[in-house]
Structure 1
Amino acid sequence: MAKKVLLIIPPERFNEDELFQPKSALENANMEVTVASTTTGTIVGDNNGTIHIDVTLNDLDLKSFDAVSVIGGSGTNDFLWNNESVQELLKEAYSQKRLIAGICAGAVTVAETGLLQGRNATCYPVDVQKEKLKEFGVTYIGEHVIAHEDIITGDGPDGAKAFGEALVANLTK
Structure 2
Amino acid sequence: MNYARFITAASAARNPSPIRTMTDILSRGPKSMISLAGGLPNPNMFPFKTAVITVENGKTIQFGEEMMKRALQYSPSAGIPELLSWLKQLQIKLHNPPTIHYPPSQGQMDLCVTSGSQQGLCKVFEMIINPGDNVLLDEPAYAGTLQSLHPLGCNIINVASDESGIVPDSLRDILSRWKP
Q: Normalising to structure 2: TM-score of the pair?
A: 0.27
Q: Which structure features the higher share of strand residues?
A: 1
Q: Which structure features the higher share of helix residues?
A: 2
Q: Normalising to structure 1: TM-score of the pair?
A: 0.28
Structure of larger gyration radius: 2
